Chains A and B, each alone.
Chain A
């Protein structure tokens, strides 16, 4: 049942996914599985990770290993964990950081703990993992990091500025990493999805042309590991939409409820 022959382990396709149980992460991982990649999956729930790993092996992954971990809590140990996962994978070519926490602005405004959680999950812990990955890339002079940011990070809005600021900060951090890594040929990309039909957004009214599937975003995540600029919108039309939203003057913007 270890589906594909070992020869399918292509050098250059050893992949670490942080937050592997999110819908976008699963869609991304399935693309890698079809390519015969070796995968290391990290998230909190070990039983769910095991089910996902079996699925990815059946879909062609050369290997799919798991590490059950709270990525927020373990962020200060990122360098050690990253080194361990690189060893278990036999190398490290792509790192996808997909975990995050949406929360609500209402709760963040009312509760310091909620605000701290939103900031820690989406920014403070995330940059530790990004920097740890980048340090490995600097040492090996190769590798790519793809982190999930959000279009919410492009303009502070009353409805979700806590989440937006954290995701926007993450994108800036990754953009800086891309600059830092460019001379050695390593890469860093912040992917900014718009509305995606995932459990994270289950409370919202869905459907219509602005909603994308996790599979669409997964294809962009996979491609971003190989090419494209440091900030990528998913799908690409959000670049234009956000350009317009950013350029609305505040005396108009402040009259809206968005």
Chain B
């Protein structure tokens, strides 16, 4: 159908820096996909997208066609005895949990937002607070159905080269029609958690290493505003599934919503106060162990719908890098020094370690080491210059950046971080592209 792709001015990524026109198709049934794909050509490549939680431009295709996959959200099968679930790519992790949790299952790993589609989880090979145990999401994917614009359809399993190109493949290897993955059993929907304080970021590393030996989930919040003797002070939280308790899933709808962009003049104060309310408990360290439902622990920001609007109309960048174990401690200290000196820091950043799992995909972001993530409100070239400075530190430390968060790195920086990039190029579907891909593929 000629009118399958309709003009739209409202497609933005989570960071909302780029405002662009797209032509959007919204298929509701899988049988519509072959027809949509046959209309595409390398001269006018398309991009499949999900719930648009990627921050930069990996989910944008300015001026071009977009296939919004969120209407394909049907569960195909769920085996409540083995935990294997197969569903269309547009199903959100949030919806998957609604079905898994009451039966005693959980996602093998989950990013910090549950408003992510299965297709997006595969295409970005997302990771979570349990990477040291579970690896990335792709490690638990058992099968994928992939459609390519040449009309071919592929049912892919681990070991197939196209499977590993598609895991972390940023939606560029084809349209993911459905995903099958293996859930993990949980005894309850509650976590036994505890917090530990560190007064300087150099102390994080030993604390985290110890926490990994006993806890399923670990992550640290660090204070980016303090420097000197308290550089990168923070709180390490760790948690494991409670052995007894109920299996009640989260409430589906966020309780709070940010209905409009924060106006510029209120921005800083408002942003800080709003985040403070969300992280109140985390910032005021709790003494001794506590019990919590998985929802506030794993998805603290999902409490506020559209929290990205807190950064105002010009949007924001997120910077997430990973540094290998040998350079992580010195590298993170250096990054935090540069950030604190810039005066542009968002007040909180996240630090977490990745385990030594082999990467599930050719372009998988996680590798053994420590990952740092933080937001920068977009104030133009000053923000870009700061991030370029950070890039130099990351590269000399042998690290790399997360495509799902990125909206600006040059091709050379990307290439330096991803040694399998050349292999990956061979699997890209020439009828698909993104703003990110056009920038980094040179």
Q: Which residues of A contact B (CB under 8 A)?
A: 1, 3, 21, 23, 45, 47-48, 51-52, 54-55, 58-60, 199, 202-203, 207
Contact = CB atoms under 8 A, between A and B. Distances in A.
A1 B28 contact: no
B75 A199 contact: no
B75 A55 contact: yes
A203 B4 CA distance: 10
A54 B3 contact: no
B28 A58 contact: no
B26 A1 contact: no
The binding surface of chain B is classed by DSSP as mixed
A215 B237 CA distance: 36
A12 B301 CA distance: 40
B283 interface: no
A55 B73 CA distance: 9
Interface in B10-37: 10, 26, 28-31
A38 B78 CA distance: 18
Interface residues of B, number: 16
Contact of B28 (A55, A60, A199, A203): A199
A47 to B, nearest CB: 6
Question: Could you say which of B30, B74, B78, B99 has the most chain A C-beta atoms within 10 Å of its C-beta?
Answer: B74
Given A48-B29, A51-B29, A202 B6 contact: yes
B99 A59 contact: yes
Interface in B37-94: 74-80
Nearest to A22: B28
A47 B31 contact: yes
Contacts of A199: 26, 28
Given A48-B31, A58-B77, A203-B6, 6 more contacts: A1-B78, A54-B75, A54-B76, A58-B78, A199-B26, A207-B10
B272 to A, nearest CB: 29
Given A58-B75, A58-B77, A59-B99, A202 B26 contact: yes
A216 to B, nearest CB: 11
A153 to B, nearest CB: 25
Contacts of B26: 199, 202
Contacts of A58: 75-78, 99
Contacts of A60: 99
26 contacts: A1-B77, A1-B79, A3-B78, A3-B80, A47-B31, A48-B29, A48-B31, A51-B30, A51-B74, A52-B74, A54-B74, A54-B76, A54-B77, A55-B74, A55-B76, A58-B75, A58-B78, A58-B99, A59-B75, A59-B99, A60-B99, A199-B26, A199-B28, A202-B6, A203-B6, A207-B10
B247 to A, nearest CB: 14
A54 B75 CA distance: 7
Nearest to B81: A1
Contacts of A45: 29
5 interchain residue pairs of minimum CB distance: A58-B75, A55-B74, A58-B78, A55-B75, A48-B29
Contacts of A55: 74-76
A4 B74 CA distance: 17
A147 B230 CA distance: 65
A23 B71 CA distance: 9
B62 to A, nearest CB: 19
Contacts of A47: 31
A21 B31 CA distance: 13
Contacts of A3: 78, 80
A199 B76 CA distance: 22
Given A48-B29, A51-B30, A58-B99, A203 B78 contact: no
Contacts of B75: 54-55, 58-59
A203 B75 CA distance: 28
A202 B28 CA distance: 12
Most buried by A among B3, B6, B28, B30: B28
A149 B233 CA distance: 60
Nearest to B72: A51
Contacts of A52: 74
